[in-house]
Amino acid sequence: MEALDIIKKIVSVLDDRLAKNIKVIDIKGISIMADYFVVASANNINHIQALADYLEDELRKLNIHYTHMEGFKSCNWILMDYGDIVVHIFDEPSREFYDLERIWRDGKIIEVPL
């Protein structure tokens, strides 16, 4: 699958499970760590974990596996590294504090149709 197809699936899965304020940032040419960030917010710790679990399950069905995951235990921010795509799922206070959209403002926010 192409990266944009995977991103569309990620956004769809997060949206289906009521993630909030989902943004996709194209960081190609800005960073060597990834080509895209997908950033989303959740209501609470349980919601963050449920989003990560469901996303992992749905992508695994497509034979897409993360290479690294961080934050599942502390759960105010889960990072799932899918190589060219890194998914960040935050609680609202952590998302405001880390403000990835500001840090990566040189990237391009892309619209992903559902």
Q: What is the DSSP string of 69-84?
A: EE-TTT-SEEEEE-SS
Lowest mean pLDDT among 23-27, 43-47, 62-66, 109-113: 109-113
* Residue from 24, 31, 27, 28 nearest 5 by CA: 24
Q: Is 80 within 8 Å of 86 (Cβ atoms)?
A: yes
Structural domains of the chain sorted by starting position, each given as residue range(s) with its CATH number in brackets = 3-109 (3.30.460.10)
For residue range 76-92, list pLDDT tens digits in order.
Answer: 999 999 999 999 999 99
At residue 73, the pLDDT reads 75
SS3 48: helix
